[in-house]
Amino acid sequence: MTDLPSSDAASPQTHSGFVAIVGKPNVGKSTLLNAFLNTKVAPTSPRPQTTRRGVRGIFSTDTHQIVFVDTPGLHKPKDALGKYMNQEVHSALSDVDAILWVVDLRHPPTDEDQLVARQVRELPKPLFLIGNKTDAAKYPDEAMKLYRALLEERTGETTEVMLSAQNSPEAVATLREQILDALPENPFFFPRGAASDQSREQWAAEIIREEAMKKLRDELPYAVATRVNRWTEREDGLQRIEGEIIVEKNAHKGMVIGAGGKQLREIGQAARKQLEVFLNRKVFLGLEVIVIPGWREDEEALRELGYE
Ligand SMILES: Nc1nc2c(ncn2[C@@H]2O[C@H](COP(=O)(O)OP(=O)(O)OP(=O)(O)O)[C@@H](O)[C@H]2O)c(=O)[nH]1
Ligand SMILES: [Mg+2]
């Protein structure tokens, strides 16, 4: 008899699956995704509705792969962009193996949390209720009780976790272990080394948008989109990245650029610093501000900007 290697040794059984991260705006979904991956995949900011597209972030071990799907915060949409964002949440929920519902323990539930609860309690999938921001919550246990009550009629298992996505890497790693254990048997969906499904241009554009959203005021953060059109590498390793900040009106253009170009310069410097940290390379970032009238209500412009 020939001595064949056992099939187990040749192809160890792998487990993998899609895990949606959902919740109302600003609860810390993208912060949690970045903490799971120990890197920056998704933009985060103190402003609600920072995430606009479903971004996949991938965590792999030798035998397990979690494909996290970070989603925009579920909210009452005011324009075509908002409708697109909510659709991204619904499509992420339609085909996943587990759901992470993130809530903010600093406050009791709002109407928007109820909106999310209604969506997730119908789904017969493993659900993790994640009470975030324990570092800043005065009454975390009381708040958690109120969120738990929104799932009262749900059948199916719910795992509860309270943590700080920002300040408790150990708790985040423990939660990641629990998610790994919940994955079904499947082949890997992405190569083992992949961290995200975004192109480097999309990723850089999101970092530019994050910095623009942090610096701009009033309605402006919501009226900007960003795009990276050119990325070249010089022989000495310098990354030359050319991007655009898109606004809706001519009047907005000057507001983004600021007096003497100061504000645009500050946005560019902050974005360049982040890009340099995560790329570990020197970066030249060129930014231009352009107008696409009413892009948030224009289906064609939305598609062109990657919201499709
Ligand atoms: N104190 C505290 N702040 C946090 C924590 N996690 C996230 N934040 C902050 O909460 C704000 C929102 O974080 P994001 O990760 O952008 O929230 P999000 O749920 O992805 O928001 P949207 O994409 O707008 O739906 C940011 O200012 C974060 O720094 C936490 O554990 N503790
Ligand atoms: Mg987000």
- Positive or negative CA dihedral for 278, 45, 175, 59? negative
**Full pLDDT tens readout for the chain, 308 residues:** 444 444 444 457 999 999 999 999 999 999 999 999 999 999 999 999 999 999 999 999 999 999 999 999 999 999 999 999 999 999 999 989 999 999 999 999 999 999 999 999 989 999 999 999 999 999 999 999 999 999 998 887 899 999 999 999 999 999 999 999 999 999 999 999 999 999 999 999 999 999 999 999 999 999 999 999 999 999 999 999 999 999 999 999 999 999 999 999 999 999 999 999 999 999 999 999 999 999 999 999 999 999 98
Task: Provide CB contacts within 8 A for 85, sequence distance 6+.
Answer: 49, 51, 52, 72, 73, 75, 77
If you measure from the C-alpha of residue 57 to the centroid of ligand 1, how many angstroms do you get, rounded to a whole number? 17
Q: Does domain 9-181 have CATH number 3.40.1280.10?
A: no
Ligand closest to CA 103: 1
- Is 9-181's fold the same as 200-304's? no
Radius of gyration over alpha carbons of the chain, in Å? 21
- The pLDDT score that the predictor gives to residue 11 is 57
- The pLDDT score that the predictor gives to residue 153 is 82
- The pLDDT score that the predictor gives to residue 4 is 47
- For residue 12, CA distances in Å to 33, 62, 144, 282 come to 27, 9, 40, 41
- The pLDDT score that the predictor gives to residue 9 is 46
What's the rounded Cα separation, in Å, for the pair 202 and 296?
18
Please check whether residue 228 is in contact with residue 241, taking contact to mean a CB–CB distance below 8 angstroms: yes
Domain residue ranges of the chain, discontinuous segments joined by +: 9-181, 200-304
Please check whether residue 75 is in contact with residue 48, taking contact to mean a CB–CB distance below 8 angstroms: yes
80 CB burial (10 A radius; 0-12, 13-18, 19+): middle
If you measure from the C-alpha of residue 7 to the centroid of ligand 1, how many angstroms do you get, rounded to a whole number? 45
Architecture of the CATH domain 200-304: 2-Layer Sandwich (3.30)
Please state the atom number of ligand 1 nearest to the C-alpha of residue 48. Answer: 24
Please state the atom number of ligand 1 nearest to the C-alpha of residue 166. Answer: 31
Q: Whose CA is nearest to atom 2 of ligand 1?
A: 133
Q: Is 65 in the pocket of ligand 1 (CB under 6 A)?
A: no
If you measure from the C-alpha of residue 183 to the centroid of ligand 1, how many angstroms do you get, rounded to a whole number? 26
